[in-house]
Amino acid sequence: MTREGERALLGGVSSLAPLAHDDARPEGSPVATVVFLHGFPLDRRLWRRQLASLPRAGVRVVALDLPGFGGARTRARPPSIEAMASEVAATIDTLGLSRPIVCGLSMGGYVALALARGWSDRIGGLVLADTRASADSEAARAGREANIERARSQGASAVFASMIPNVFASDARREVVDELAQIAASQSVEGVVAALEAMRDRPDLTGSLPALRLPTTVVVGARDVLTPPSEAESMARAIPGARAVIVPEAAHFPNVDNPGAFDAALLDAARR
Ligand code: MLT
């Protein structure tokens, strides 16, 4: 997509400053660069462990705040997953990244798929973690409305609190739950509502999976009930050449539940 097209998508935003990000580089030339896109309602701090570990294995890690989260404002009206992808593409351009691997988790995976569809020339590979290609069901859309109401009346932390039974295993470590709850609590109501609207209205991209021509790894926590292994396996079957990796002892956030196994899957994708 052209810069003009991207600006039109963003409703006349005239300057596309890069999204807020952390950039952790290895010593020497990187074996690969991976752009990480976080899940909802979090920010780039979701990737704290990978920012520390992967550069030691030679990988440059660029973790972005998606529009509306952390240090990145929501600029598109109406908000959409495609507009988020447009801002990620502009950030890849502005940072001069040459066809990085893009790893998106859950909501970040929706953005990664939109990026692969509209801006495939900007990326060299995909890691889709704990996500899905399908649109929201009627029940899920009703859940978005309830969460929009919850965010407006009780704030961002109440939205995350309502997700906890679905995103963590019942025996999840308390400090991990608290770490992500604190990140969620710091998000703005405006950003959380915009993302809920964008996810509610996102199109079904299932039909576009067979046309993907990027090396793809689909990763999922073995105990993820929100986007379960069966979903990951069917996405991997639909994408030519893709493979599925199931991360043991992990639920919806395998990069924090079992970072060693998640990083191994990432490094394998980077080396391929
Ligand atoms: C996420 O982890 O990003 C969300 O669970 C995605 C969603 O609500 O669809």
Please state, rounded to an integer, the average pLDDT across all residues of the chain: 94
Q: With cut-offs at 50, 70 and 90, classify the pLDDT of residue 13.
A: very low
Ligand 1 midpoint to CA 30 (Å): 31
Ligand 1 midpoint to CA 163 (Å): 9
Ligand 1 midpoint to CA 136 (Å): 11
In the predicted model, what is the mean pLDDT of residues 174-195? 97
Which atom of ligand 1 lies closest to the CA of 136?
A: 9
Q: 122, 147, 150, 128: which is closest to 136 by C-alpha? A: 147
CB atoms within 10 A of CB 124: 18
Nearest CA to ligand 1 atom 4: 40
Ligand 1 midpoint to CA 164 (Å): 11
What pTM was estimated for this model as a whole?
0.94
Cα end-to-end distance, the chain, whole Å: 27
pLDDT in tens, 196-244: 999 999 999 999 999 999 999 999 999 999 999 999 999 999 999 999 9
In the predicted model, what is the mean pLDDT of residues 149-155? 97
- Mutate which of 226, 231, 252 for ligand 1? The one with the most ligand atoms within 8 Å of its CB, which is 226
pLDDT in tens, 81-102: 999 999 999 999 999 999 999 9
Ligand 1 site, CB within 6 A: 39-40, 106-107, 199, 226, 252
H-state helical runs in the chain: 3-9, 48-53, 81-94, 107-118, 138-154, 156-167, 174-185, 189-200, 229-238, 254-257, 259-271
